Amino acid sequence: KKGEITKIEALIKERSEDLTTKKSELEEISGESQEEEKKLLAEREKAAKRIEDKFLKYYERLRNNLSNGLAVVRVVRGAAEGCNIIIPPQKIAEIREKKKIVIDEHSGRILADVDMESMEEEVKPKKAAPVRRTKKVG
3-state SS class at 130: coil
Sheet holding 79-80, edge to edge: 79-80, 72-76, 110-114, 102-103
**pTM exceeds 0.75 for this model:** no
At 36-59, the pLDDT tens digits run 999 999 999 998 899 889 989 998
At 2-39, the pLDDT tens digits run 889 999 999 999 999 999 999 999 999 999 999 999 99
3-state SS class at 104: coil
| Domain locations along the chain | 1-50, 53-123
